[in-house]
Amino acid sequence: MENIKDIPITDNHIHVDDINGYGAEKVAKIFKNAGGKVMIVLNKPAFDGNLKKPMDVLLKDIETINKNVDDVRAYGLVGAHPAELTVMVNNGIALNDAKNRMIDALNYAKELVEKNDYLVGIGEVGRPHYPVNDEIWEASNEILLYAMELAKDLDCAIQIHAESASENQFKEFRDMAKSVNLNPERVIKHHCGDMVLEGEKYGIFPSIVASKPVVEAVKKSLRFVMETDYIDDLKRPGVVLGIKTVPRRTRKLMDLGLLDEEGAHIIHKENIEKLYNIELD
């Protein structure tokens, strides 16, 4: 069995929930005991109209992990989940008003990233992964473009939540980023199958779920990061994947000879450092 203790194993997309789940500290300890070292944590959506509170909660969760859990480092991304727009509209808020609330929340996210060293990007932002009408789709794209402008101003990464990835989508996101002078290399597509070659072609950075897609991805390229999209909800255990999955999958890939220690360092250290402009031990 390959040893991963010297590799800063990083999960690129985690949610923690002190009310409905294990909470930040326990999740971090479980992750650590499985061999994990670095957590990229994103705020959950509120779905109650208060788009800023989840960002404040996330900031406290990041501080809790870094203060109380030795040998684990947590970094955060803050943003307004694209589904928030649909929820507000379905609750009777006019689309333009809902859009303005999303923009206001993103401005708040920018302020937080500017003030806090452990907040390293904007996310998750984007557009719904389910069918919506043309007006909501257009508004969602406008909000996403605005989020990209903020990432450009902050010189930080942005994680996109959207419909299932495709080559055309990667091209679209590249063109959107370039239109606001944001380097596509800082644009991360969360949940994107095994589309590493498409990522290379268009400059978008794939964040790949640590299940079957990552087994196929690692055969093609090491230009990706790994994620679980762990939800931390005791009523939905292990959704999307359990918090232990990234270290376990990395170890399994090494045991199978699909990944060596150098390759693991590229995925978990070099790629993460470039995306978020941080230094990992």
C-alpha 175/C-alpha 180 separation (Å) is 9
Q: Which domains does the chain have, with CATH numbers?
A: 10-276 (3.20.20.140)
Cβ-proximal residues to 40 (8 Å cutoff; 6+ apart), any chain: 10, 11, 12, 13, 14, 74, 75, 76, 77, 120, 227, 272, 276
Buried b (16+ CB within 10 A) or exposed e, 114-124: eeeebbbbbbb
Structure tokens at 61: 């969760």
Q: Confirm if 125 and 82 have CB atoms less than 8 A apart.
A: yes
Q: Give me the DSSP letters along the chain.
A: ----TTS--EEEEE---TTTSS-HHHHHHHHHHTT--EEEEEPPP-SSS--SHHHHHHHHHHHHHHHHSTT-EEEEEE---THHHHHHHHTT--HHHHHHHHHHHHHHHHHHHHH-TTEEEEEEEE--SS---HHHHHHHHHHHHHHHHHHHHHT-EEEEE-SSP-HHHHHHHHHHHHHTT--GGGEEEES-TT-HHHHHHH-PEEEEETTHHHHHHTTT-S--EEE--B---TTSTT-SS-TTHHHHHHHHHHHTTS--HHHHHIIIIIHHHHHHT----
- Give me the phi and psi of 231, to 5 degrees please: -95, -30
**Which pLDDT tens digits describe the chain residue by residue (281 residues)?**
456 888 999 999 999 999 999 999 999 999 999 999 999 999 999 999 999 999 999 999 999 999 999 999 999 999 999 999 999 999 999 999 999 999 999 999 999 999 999 999 999 999 999 999 999 999 999 999 999 999 999 999 999 999 999 999 999 999 999 999 999 999 999 999 999 999 999 999 999 999 999 999 999 999 999 999 999 999 999 899 999 999 999 999 999 999 999 999 999 999 999 999 999 98
Query: What pTM was computed for the model?
Result: 0.97
Q: Which residue has the tokens 């993460």?
A: 272
Buried b (16+ CB within 10 A) or exposed e, 212-223: ebbbebbeeebb
Tell me, what's the pLDDT at 90?
Answer: 96
Tell me, what's the pLDDT at 5?
Answer: 82
- Give me the phi and psi of 56, to 5 degrees please: -65, -40
C-alpha 118/C-alpha 112 separation (Å) is 10
Q: How many CB atoms within 10 Å of residue 56?
A: 14
C-alpha 42/C-alpha 64 separation (Å) is 14
Tell me, what's the pLDDT at 4?
Answer: 81
**Paired residues of 75 in beta bridges:** 40
